[in-house]
Amino acid sequence: MRAHPRIAVIGAGIGGLTLAAALDRAGIPCQVFEQARQLTEVGAGVQLAPNAIRPLRQLGVVETLQRSAVRIEAMETRSWAGAPIARTPFGPACEKLFAAPYYAIHRADLQAALLARVGPRPLRLGHALTRMEPAEDGVRLGFRDGTTYHADLVVGADGIHSVVRQALTDDAPVFSGLGVFRGLVPVRDLPQAAREPLIRMWLGPGRHFVCYPVRGGELISFAAIAPLCDAPVESWSADGSPGDLVEAFDGWRGLVRDVTRAARTVRRWALYDREELTTWSAGRITVLGDAAHPMLPFLAQGANQAVEDAVELASRLDGTTRADIPAVLGDYGATRGDRTTAIQQGARGHSESMHLPDGPRQQERDLALRASSGIAGLRGRAWLYAYAAGATPAAGT
């Protein structure tokens, strides 16, 4: 019997766990090394588009997700003063076009669903990677606790501050000049309109505000983007001030006012991305998700692209021998690089257009958004939502 390659996945976030699930589906074992000693509930809401839902369905994860995910019916965009700009339907139209719904979910619920699929066996918690060394046609990994592991393949799914990425390039995160307030508000503390299964977005000078329901509609997750003068460390656990949130969006209309005043616990962190990788692999080392292409959140594709990376890599590793790994990794990077770069750059471009000051350019933007809304606007997202990572095509596109 042919021995499977020894695969070490560094990081038990969305990308790392999706890869473990996809490898398991292909009958390929792996070890997932996570620096945290316990996987705790972190983050807030995540938008899952059809390009991630289709492969997650094949992995058997969606049935669990449905217990807490909210099926989004539409995305509404307004001005900071409350004037409607555009509305793009999701709901049945999204399922017809892209063979999958559009979900909003708490990040912890997505992680829990993936953990339930993967099981505890491949997880090695409390293992912080400190070094990687070539050894015997493989890679010798060293961890902070003194343990080591010999791998035939190392996959860095260890986020924007990836240790594995350092084997590919000597770069650093790029500060956007923006920060994000994030938090969760019980829907019972908000007007009845907050219960609708919508993604709502308000655009204003220098900033914007997004909110949507998660946890089966019990909570509203919000992301409030505003200028940030300094560049603190990017961290999901950094505390923010509810008072600063209220001040940053003072005078904004509609649910913005309600949500900002109802928020009791707020996180705030700086928004970073990185420049594109010129190569995704070196020998037997590669990366995925934020370790490969951290993105600004303005296309809501960060988690979705991590899922795509994972299922694409797993599909290429199916039937692979140890000797095949360097060539397989080269093909994987070539396949994923152009797409993720386009999305990274698109997110950067949205940063400017979403934050225009009131005036002629803002009016032109709003006219363009109105013209591209409705079902035409949904069809215009086919470049994102119809993508067939790991051969999971959308029907009807």
Provide the annotated active-site residues.
Answer: 212
Angle of helix 14-25 relative to helix 50-58, nearest 10 degrees? 40
Report the alpha-carbon distance of residue 132 to residue 328 in Å, rounded.
20
Would you give the end-to-end CA distance of the chain in angstroms?
42
Identify the sign of the CA torsion 103, 105, 107, 108: negative
3-state secondary structure the chain: CCCCCCEEEECCCHHHHHHHHHHHHCCCCCEEEECCCCCCCCCCEEEECHHHHHHHHHCCCHHHHCCCCEECCEEEEEECCCCEEEEEECHHHHHHHHCCCCEEEEHHHHHHHHHHHHCCCCEEECCCEEEEEEECCEEEEEECCCCEEEECEEEECCCCCCCHHHHCCCCCCEEEEEEEEEEEEEHHHCCHHHHCCEEEEEEECCEEEEEEEEHHHCEEEEEEEEECCCCCCCCCCCECCHHHHHHHCCCCCCHHHHHHHHCCCCEEEEEEECCCCCCCEECCEEECHHHCCCCCHHHCCHHHHHHHHHHHHHHHHCCCCHHHHHHHHHHHHHHHHHHHHHHHHHHHHHHHHCCCCCCHHHHHHHHHHHHCCHHHHHHCCHHHHCCCCCCCCCCCC
If you search the block for the tokens 């503390």, which residue do you land on?
A: 189
